[in-house]
């Protein structure tokens, strides 16, 4: 949820904590006494299905966010759309103050049960980071660089494609990374409206009072989020334009 982590330790600390969690999970999985109920909840086939559901939800919602937010960000940074930009960022900011839990339930009320509902709710919640970073990324490009491109006779489209977008790639990717982590994590709430996901395991553990199941579900959700965050950090490092 925070996109300005410049720390180089990111690439070490995230996997380190992930590893710690994985070891803990391994120990609990192998050495705790599981009653039949816990074992039924933690059926590997179930877990795999839930994980798959959650990743599919995250994939489509992130894709939706990218398809919507980047063009939107480009649009509102063209001259003459300043007012629109502030209104939109303000509105989405307010929307982020809505609890994720409440938002997903409201979407359910409006759109009914189904994967589409979950995807739209996740997308709505993670639209802002990508949109904001697209705007910030484009606006932080040194005006003199754009000016010199214009002075050399680049058309507006050429300036966008060859200067503004390549120079905002790092910031935009950082926004996409944030959005991915949000959608992957929030997918755990999909169970609330019948959307599946690893939240089901946690929920079953809570309902049936099985702390081991709760822990395994929670640790898996956390590990998935950490893995995606780490992949994002790697992408940021290696997709970074050379000259910057």
Tell which positions 115-174 bind other proteins, by CB under 8 A. Answer: 142, 144-155, 158, 162-163, 166-167
> Per CB under 8 A, which region of 33-41, 75-83, 89-97, 127-135 contacts other proteins?
89-97
Q: Can you tell me the distance from the alpha carbon of 107 to that of 147, in angstroms, rounded to the nearest whole number?
A: 45
User: Among 48, 63, 98, 239, which residue interacts with other proteins (rule: CB under 8 A)?
Assistant: 98
Nearest to residue 165, comparing CAs of 138, 127, 131? 138
> Per CB under 8 A, which region of 62-70, 72-80, 83-91, 177-185 contacts other proteins?
177-185
Read off the tokens for 8. 């180089």
* Residue ranges in 25-54 that form contacts with other proteins under rule CB under 8 A: none
**Beta carbon of residue 151, minimum distance to other proteins (angstroms, whole number):** 3
Residue 59 within binding range of other proteins, rule CB under 8 A: no
**Beta carbon of residue 235, minimum distance to other proteins (angstroms, whole number):** 15
Query: Are 64 and 124 in contact, with CB atoms under 8 Å apart?
Result: no
How many binding residues for other proteins (CB under 8 A)? 72
H/E element, 179: helix 165-186
* Residue ranges in 193-212 that form contacts with other proteins under rule CB under 8 A: 193, 199, 202-203, 205-206, 211-212
Query: In terms of CB distance, is 72 or 181 closer to other proteins?
Result: 181
The alpha carbon of residue 21 and the mean position of all alpha carbons in its chain are separated, in whole angstroms, by 21
Please state, as a whole number, how many other Cβ atoms lie within 10 Å of the Cβ of residue 152: 9
Residue 229 within binding range of other proteins, rule CB under 8 A: yes
Query: In terms of CB distance, is 77 or 178 closer to other proteins?
Result: 178
**Beta carbon of residue 155, minimum distance to other proteins (angstroms, whole number):** 5
User: Among 119, 132, 226, 236, which residue interacts with other proteins (rule: CB under 8 A)?
Assistant: 226
Read off the tokens for 52. 């798959």
Residue 215 within binding range of other proteins, rule CB under 8 A: yes
DSSP structure string for 75-140: HHHSTT-HHHHHHHHHHHHHHHTS-HHHHHHHHHHHH-SSHHHHHHHHHHHHHHHHHHHHHHHHHT
Query: In terms of CB distance, is 43 or 240 closer to other proteins?
Result: 240
Say how many CA atoms lie within 13 Å of 87 toward its Cβ. Answer: 6
* Residue ranges in 7-26 that form contacts with other proteins under rule CB under 8 A: 7-10, 12-14, 17
Read off the tokens for 176. 């996409």
Query: Are 216 and 29 in contact, with CB atoms under 8 Å apart?
Result: yes
């Amino acid at each position: 949820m925070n996109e300005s982590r410049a720390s180089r330790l990111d690439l070490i600390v995230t996997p380190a904590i992930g590893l710690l969690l994985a070891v803990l999970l391994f120990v609990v999985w192998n050495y705790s006494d599981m009653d039949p109920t816990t074992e039924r909840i933690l059926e590997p086939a179930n877990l795999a299905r839930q994980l798959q559901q959650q990743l599919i939800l995250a994939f489509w919602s992130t894709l939706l966010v990218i398809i919507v937010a980047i063009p939107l960000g480009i649009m509102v940074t063209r001259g003459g759309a300043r007012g629109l930009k502030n209104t939109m960022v303000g509105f989405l900011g307010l929307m982020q103050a809505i609890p994720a839990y409440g938002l997903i339930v409201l979407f359910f009320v409006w759109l009914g049960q189904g994967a589409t509902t979950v995807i739209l709710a996740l997308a709505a919640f993670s639209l802002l980071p990508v949109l904001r970073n697209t705007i910030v990324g484009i606006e932080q490009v040194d005006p003199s660089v754009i000016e010199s491109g214009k002075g050399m006779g680049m058309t507006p489209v050429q300036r966008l494609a060859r200067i503004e977008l390549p120079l905002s790639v790092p910031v935009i990717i950082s926004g996409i990374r944030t959005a991915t982590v949000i959608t992957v994590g929030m997918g755990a709430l999909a169970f609330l409206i019948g959307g599946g996901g690893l939240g089901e395991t946690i929920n079953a553990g809570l309902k049936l009072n099985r702390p081991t199941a709760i822990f395994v579900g929670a640790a898996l959700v956390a590990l998935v989020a950490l893995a995606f965050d780490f992949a994002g950090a790697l992408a940021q490092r290696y997709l970074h334009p050379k000259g910057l």
